[in-house]
Structure 1
Amino acid sequence: MDAAMHRYLPWVVALAFFMQTLDTTILNTALPGMARDLGENPLRMQSAVVAYLLTVALLIPASGWLADRLGTRSVFLWAIGLFSFGSLLCAISPSLQILVLARVLQGMGGALLVPVGRLVVLRAFPKDEFLKVMTFITLPGLVGPLLGPTLGGVLTQYASWHWIFLINLPVGLVGVLACRRYMPQLKGAGRQRFDWSGYVLFSLGLMLLSLALQGFGEHVVSMAICLVMLVAGVVCMMTYWLHATRTEAPLFSPALFAVPTFRIGLLGNVFARLGSGATPFLTPLFLQVGLGFSPSEAGLSMIPSVLGAMFTKTLAIRLIRWSGYRRVLIVNTLLLGVLIASFSLIPRDVGHVWLVIHLGVFGMVNSMQFTAMNTLTLGDLDERTASGGNSLLAVVMQLSMSLGVATSSAFLLLFSEGVARTDGAAMVPAFHATYLALGVMAGMAAFIFHQLRVDEGAKKETAESRMSES
């Protein structure tokens, strides 16, 4: 690797991290405006969010194999190209159905950007430089959620929601040019066989389960079809498990679940993120539809949550070393559930100071939860299981956020039945009830973390370098 490539490669990967994290947050504040233009109910716009998150979850397991097979530069170029082309199609979508299809294409690119970027840094830099480079490239990933809600609200209010997708095009063009010049074409040393049978079973199971749960909430398909998809999804997942126990190199090894901290951390991630993962989608809706905020006001109101999250990341590891994972996760999970439920106390005439404090504290607790769960889940994996465990955690994170969005939307539709969706004051109780339900779901994950050893993680090194970004 020449000197220029060594110098500028982290910037290329950082740009990809920024594109991906910006896109996951910029859409939420624009959903009510998009719904008006597309002639849709704003409470049913979650499919545009779920389509992206679910696509990313389904393609993450194949990202490493594709990079090994085709080369990091080739896959990275395709990822930026798909992401940018999908953004263009999103901007010109005339209906929600077309928008969802465009978001799937965009998600195909987004699923490859971050994993392949992390992989090329791992292979291109020596071990003593890896943590420093990873810290540098993840910083833009923290800026994306900070700018996303505000930028989405401002563009929607003062220009058009189409621009939240069109701004990806010049960034994507710069990324393609920089990738061609500074991204090395690295391939895997061996030709490891990819577990296609396991991948199809696992992906099909996830997709069927997600669509079934979304169908139950939206009532867009019959109950019988939802039940068939639910049963088929469970069958696919059970078949995958049987397949994995008899395959030499399965997609995700059953040996992962022999590690207690991985097993508990992964299960806790699923339930905790059902509540906390829904809030970036639900809160901008609440602020605009329920409280009557403008898109730009709703976007600006989300900044304290991100700032609180960034502040807590500097304290999380020290607190875990002092108290241990069990105490931190039990207390923090219960506190997270209470804070989500406490959104039900926010009145329609809430003052901005109270809202800033509430969102800031929520951001701090939410960030502590993600940091503790992710380091717990990956901390005890060895070299043999680290890669598969990291990929499975990434899939679960995306899937849980997808299910959280679908669940919150289902609750909101249920509690607002018979209410005029244009009547903000009448919608507030439905939002309050939804937050209460999500808070209870998130808080129940504390029972899972109660299974940890009392001294788990206390006064010992934790795997900061393996920590996945929430």
Structure 2
Amino acid sequence: MNSAVSPASSRQLLWLVAVGFFMQTLDATIVNTALPAMARSLGESPLEMQAVIVSYALTMAVVIPASGWVADRFGTQRVFFTAIVLFTLGSAACAASPSLHWLVVARVLQGLGGALLLPVGRLAVLRAYPREQFLEAMSFVAMPGLIGPLVGPTLGGWLVEAASWHWIFLINLPVGVLGALATLRYMPGGRSERPPAFDAGGYTMLVVAMLALSLALDGLGGLGMKHLLVLLLLLLGLAALTAYWLHAARVPAPLFTPRLFSLQSFRVGLLGNLFARIGSGAMPYLIPLLMQLAMGYSPAQAGMLMLPVALAGLGMKRLVTSIIGRWGYRRVLIGNTLALGAMIAGFALMTPDQPLWLRVLQMAMFGAVNSMQFTAMNTVTLKDLDPAHASGGNSMLSMVQMLGMGMGVSVAATLLAAFGPWLGVSASAAGPDALPAFRAALGAIGAVTMLSAGIFWQLQPEPPRPDDDRRAGESRAEH
């Protein structure tokens, strides 16, 4: 294994991985505030732009399960360099896109690179640092990942007003060039002499299942698919998922072993992650649209309103361990999921004449509850995994997180598209006329989120284990 790294290069390696993580998380959020401006420029409806976000999240969900094997087979330096190049080229293609369809294709290219940045970078850090220093190193790498969502919506709104939406992608180009050069200098090779066998058949089934189910869900909202095609995609997705499960139970080394689900905390945490994240994933898409289309806010103002969400989320990270230590995972997740659903539904009560302080308080409360939800769900999912299954379990969690984010956006777009005609709201409605569709969608998403508390009800009451702090630190990198 060629993974040696000199002490002089170790700090540069951490900065390199941290910057890559920052780029990936920034682009997952910076687009949200710019969607209305992008829609006007491309001649599309703002309520039909969800594919720009879904394509990025879905691509990452598809690629993440193969990232570990790809890094072992071709080396961390080569794969990380390729990831930065793909991400940078995808950013340039996004800025140059003349239509929504081209923009979606460019976002897929960008997502191919983004999906490899964190897993491969984390693998390089794992190999370069001894175990007793790994948590400290990963905490350093994770911090920019928390800053990305903090500045993304605000920066996106400011760039739209100060220049144009194209600059939310163009700012990646100089960072990408410098990152590629730094990778060649500071990233160790890290290629395995005997890479493990890759479960290509299982991976194909899993990819087909994710793509078919996600496209069917998105087709209900805005892709204009005929009902028969949506039904066929749903059936294909369910059939592929069933085929993968049977395949994984038969082969000796599947991509994700079914034995992972023998752990109650893992299967409950994973399913809870998937369904609770529908609400959490929908909100970064819905809130900027609500503020700009129904409340009359500018892109910069809508972006600034997302700051309390991120700041409160960062502040909550310090309290998570003590809260879980006192109340336990089961009670915290049941109560917090109910509170999260109620907070989401509470956004339906917004009106344009409410005072600013009330809106800021509402955003901050949502950010704190959402942050608690992320950390508690991630930690309970991973806390009981033994070392032999830790890598596969963590990869599956990462995949489900991105899949849940994409599903959240698709569900939000579907509900807006469905409630609009039912409530007599046209696709071009703006201002208070557009509020009824947003209110109905927020109420429905809040109800779905609250129902997912029933999943966490299945957890066994137990005191937290001493190593949960380490699991929480590792899971924060995933957010």
- What TM-score do the two structures reach when normalised by structure 1? 0.98
Say whether residues 1:452 and 2:459 are aligned partners: yes
2:474 aligned partner = 466
1:159 aligned partner = 163
CA contact (8 A) 1:278 1:401 kept: yes
CA contact (8 A) 1:379 1:466 kept: no
CA contact (8 A) 2:73 2:191 kept: yes
Counterpart secondary structure, 2:255: coil
The CA deviation at 1:322 is 1.1
1:228 aligned partner = 232
Letter of the structure 1 residue corresponding to residue 178 of structure 2: V
Letter of the structure 2 residue corresponding to residue 244 of structure 1: A
**Aligned equivalents of 1:48, 1:60: Cα separation in 2:** 19
Which among 52, 58, 64 is matched to residue 48 of structure 1?
Answer: 52
1:82 aligned partner = 86
Aligned residue runs from structure 1 range 241-256, under 5 A:
241-256=245-260
Counterpart secondary structure, 1:416: helix
Which among 449, 454, 459 is matched to residue 442 of structure 1?
Answer: 449
Aligned residue runs from structure 1 range 16-95, under 5 A:
16-95=20-99
The CA deviation at 1:187 is 1.5
**Aligned equivalents of 2:398, 2:40: Cα separation in 1:** 34
CA contact (8 A) 1:321 1:461 kept: no
The CA deviation at 1:91 is 0.1
Which among 384, 407, 432 is matched to residue 439 of structure 2?
Answer: 432
The CA deviation at 1:158 is 1.6
Counterpart secondary structure, 1:16: helix
**RMSD value over aligned CA atoms?**
1.2
Letter of the structure 1 residue corresponding to residue 39 of structure 2: A
**Aligned equivalents of 1:461, 1:9: Cα separation in 2:** 27
CA contact (8 A) 1:348 1:428 kept: no
**Aligned equivalents of 1:465, 1:293: Cα separation in 2:** 36
CA offset digits 1:223-252 (Å, max 9, x no partner): 001101100110000000000001111000
CA contact (8 A) 1:27 1:149 kept: yes
The CA deviation at 1:416 is 1.5
Aligned residue runs from structure 1 range 89-238, under 5 A:
89-218=93-222, 220-238=224-242
Task: Provide closer, same or farther for how the CA distance between residues 460 and 134 of structure 1 changes in structure 2, counting only shifts above 3 A.
Answer: closer
CA contact (8 A) 2:383 2:468 kept: no
**Aligned equivalents of 1:242, 1:456: Cα separation in 2:** 35
1:419 aligned partner = 425
Task: Provide closer, same or farther for how the CA distance between residues 175 and 376 of structure 1 changes in structure 2, counting only shifts above 3 A.
Answer: same
Which among 405, 410, 418 is matched to residue 406 of structure 1?
Answer: 410
The CA deviation at 1:4 is 2.5
Aligned residue runs from structure 1 range 292-441, under 5 A:
292-417=296-421, 418-420=424-426, 421-441=428-448
Counterpart secondary structure, 1:27: helix
CA contact (8 A) 1:322 1:459 kept: no
**Aligned equivalents of 2:11, 2:98: Cα separation in 1:** 43
Letter of the structure 2 residue corresponding to residue 455 of structure 1: E
- What TM-score do the two structures reach when normalised by structure 2? 0.96
Tell me which moved more, 293-302 or 348-357. 348-357
CA contact (8 A) 1:324 1:458 kept: no
**Aligned equivalents of 2:297, 2:335: Cα separation in 1:** 33
Q: Number of aligned pairs? A: 470
**Aligned equivalents of 2:73, 2:461: Cα separation in 1:** 44
CA contact (8 A) 1:321 1:460 kept: no
CA contact (8 A) 1:378 1:466 kept: no
**Aligned equivalents of 2:202, 2:374: Cα separation in 1:** 28
2:283 aligned partner = 279
CA offset digits 1:414-433 (Å, max 9, x no partner): 11224232422110111111
Task: Provide closer, same or farther for how the CA distance between residues 351 and 189 of structure 1 changes in structure 2, counting only shifts above 3 A.
Answer: farther
CA contact (8 A) 2:54 2:410 kept: yes
Tell me which moved more, 85-94 or 414-423. 414-423
The CA deviation at 1:466 is 3.3
CA contact (8 A) 1:275 1:441 kept: yes
Task: Provide closer, same or farther for how the CA distance between residues 411 and 382 of structure 1 changes in structure 2, counting only shifts above 3 A.
Answer: same
**Aligned equivalents of 1:339, 1:168: Cα separation in 2:** 34
The CA deviation at 1:454 is 2.1
Counterpart secondary structure, 1:190: coil
Tell me which moved more, 346-355 or 87-96. 346-355
Task: Provide closer, same or farther for how the CA distance between residues 410 and 190 of structure 1 changes in structure 2, counting only shifts above 3 A.
Answer: same
Tell me which moved more, 342-351 or 323-332. 342-351
The CA deviation at 1:350 is 2.4
The CA deviation at 1:216 is 1.8
The CA deviation at 1:348 is 2.1
Letter of the structure 2 residue corresponding to residue 74 of structure 1: R
Percent of pairs identical after alignment? Answer: 52
Letter of the structure 2 residue corresponding to residue 325 of structure 1: Y
The CA deviation at 1:279 is 0.3
**Aligned equivalents of 2:430, 2:281: Cα separation in 1:** 26
CA contact (8 A) 1:322 1:458 kept: no
CA contact (8 A) 2:294 2:432 kept: yes
**Aligned equivalents of 2:256, 2:22: Cα separation in 1:** 28
**Aligned equivalents of 1:175, 1:30: Cα separation in 2:** 25
- Structure 2, gaps ≥5 residues long: none
- Structure 1, gaps ≥5 residues long: none
**Aligned equivalents of 1:434, 1:12: Cα separation in 2:** 40
**Aligned equivalents of 1:190, 1:390: Cα separation in 2:** 22
CA offset digits 1:384-422 (Å, max 9, x no partner): 111110000000000011000000011011112242324
**Aligned equivalents of 1:271, 1:7: Cα separation in 2:** 38
